[in-house]
Amino acid sequence: MNPLLPQPRLALPQLSNYAAEYDWLFFAMSVFSVVFVTAIFIAILYFAIKYRAGSPADRTDRIRFRSRVILESSWSLIPFVLLLVFFVWAGKMYVAWSMPPKGALEIAVVGKQWMWKFQHPGGQREINTLHVPLGQPVKLVMTSQDVIHSLFVPALRIKMDAIPGRYTNLWFTAKETGKYHLHCAEYCGTDHSVMGGWLIVMTPADYQTWLAQAGTDLSLAGAGAALFRKYGCSGCHGANSTVHAPSLGGLFGTTVRTEDGREVLADEGYIRDCITVPGKNRVAGYPPIMPNFSGKISEGDLIKLIAYIRSLPPGARP
């Protein structure tokens, strides 16, 4: 190996079960493709040689109409059925990719030109490097504060866009410790190609140590409680309020009936919309008096507020 050139990387680590299954499917489709290409190539080569202009080969064509119909339908249907197998296999993986397991460790992600900001449930923050524990499902709750970004970890074979104005999820369970590339995969401007860093997988014990060292004054929910007062939310939603505003205790995860008769799941995106687009899902029976906080609360603060609202037990009036 030329010492001037860096070692080329020709294999990817399989950091998760998803990655392992992914590689099998990729391999199977590659085999299918190679067989297909070879078959076409051999047919072309065979016809090209046998029926070249100067060859004396017999040209009387005895294929009847019926055999043509059979030929045309079989070379349409057989590949299609084979493809459906791949469709189903890939579809199953896609469904699994989209459904984070309950109880996953939730880490908040905000993309901005040109960095990734991560915040752990205990409030620990980091930029461009993400520490996660080994063997535990991790769910990234992502948004962007400017343009669209996309969080991509090749070793996990997954990516998901971080989109301004909404929350998207990406989950994985890492099964080997180590340091792995983390990129932005959606073009986002000048420094797009350097917007990224590392995913660092640690043993759970090391992760706890890291969390302790990273230190923080307040957990996400704790910081959210302070913001809840700072932005005046407690004035209407608080225990002593006389304003007719919905109670937020135990709200998260329930189904809410809106004024226009729809039923909406109260997830992160719902609470975010209630703060930034109050008219969108107004709760049935409440007057439209919620002020619009769009552009007045940063993405980081929104995440803290949501964490706080989420932490409220049923019946509690903050």
Partner 1 sequence: MTAEAKKAPPKSYIEDGHTLRSWFFSTDHKGIAVLYLVSITLFFFVGGAAATLIRLELLSPNGFILSNDAYNRLFTIHGVIMVWFFLIPSIPNTFGNFLIPIMIGAKDLAFPKLNLASWWIFVFAGCFVIAALLIGGVDTGWTFYAPFSTMFSNGYVIPAVVGVFISGFSTILTGLNFIVTVHRLRAPGMTWFRLPLFVWSIYATSLVMVLATPVLATTLLLIFAERVFGLGFFDPQLGGDPVLYQHMFWFYSHPAVYIMVLPAFAVMSELMTAFSKKHIFGYKVIAFSSLAIAGLGFLVWGHHMFVAGESVYVGLVFSVLSFTIAVPSAIKVFNWTATMRKGYVSFDAPMLFALGFIGLFVIGGLTGLFVAATGLDVHLTRTYFVIAHFHFIMVGGTVSCYFGALHFWWPKMTGRMYPEMPGRIVALLIFFGFMLTFMPQFILGWLGMPRRYHLYPPEFQVLNVLSSAGASILAVAYTAPLFYLAWSLFYGKRAGLNPWGAAGLEWMIPSPPPRENFETVPVVTWEAYPYPLEPQPVAKEDGR
Which member of 20, 36, 125, 296 binds partner 1 (CB under 8 A)? 36
Supply the minimum distance, in Å, between the C-beta of residue 37 and partner 1: 6
Which parts of 168-187 interact with partner 1 (CB under 8 A)? 168, 181, 183-187
Supply the minimum distance, in Å, between the C-beta of residue 188 and partner 1: 6
Residue 142 vs 248, nearer CB to partner 1? 142
By CB under 8 A, is residue 12 in contact with partner 1? yes
Which parts of 43-62 interact with partner 1 (CB under 8 A)? 43-44, 47-48, 51-53, 57, 59-61
Residue 125 vs 296, nearer CB to partner 1? 296
Q: Which of these ranges, 72-80, 124-132, 251-259, 308-316, lies near partner 1 under the rule CB under 8 A? A: 72-80
Q: Give the count of beta carbons closer than 10 Å to the beta carbon of residue 100.
A: 18
Supply the minimum distance, in Å, between the C-beta of residue 199 and partner 1: 12
Q: For residues 27 and 251, what is the distance between their CA atoms, to the nearest angstrom?
A: 46
Which parts of 94-123 interact with partner 1 (CB under 8 A)? 94-95, 97-98, 113
By CB under 8 A, is residue 163 in contact with partner 1? yes
HSE-up of 65 (CA within 13 Å, CB side)? 0
In order, the DSSP letters of 95-148 are HHHH-PPTTPEEEEEEEETTEEEEE-TTS-EEESEEEEETTS-EEEEEEESSS-
By CB under 8 A, is residue 26 in contact with partner 1? yes
Structure tokens given for 239: 């225990």
Q: For residues 237 and 229, what is the distance between their CA atoms, to the nearest angstrom?
A: 10
Residue 67 vs 208, nearer CB to partner 1? 67
The single-letter code of the amino acid at 2 is N
Q: For residues 3 and 58, what is the distance between their CA atoms, to the nearest angstrom?
A: 59
Residue 26 vs 232, nearer CB to partner 1? 26
Which parts of 187-246 interact with partner 1 (CB under 8 A)? 187-194
Q: For residues 238 and 247, what is the distance between their CA atoms, to the nearest angstrom?
A: 8
Structure tokens given for 298: 């940063």
Contact status, residue 132 vs residue 120, Cβ threshold 8 Å: no
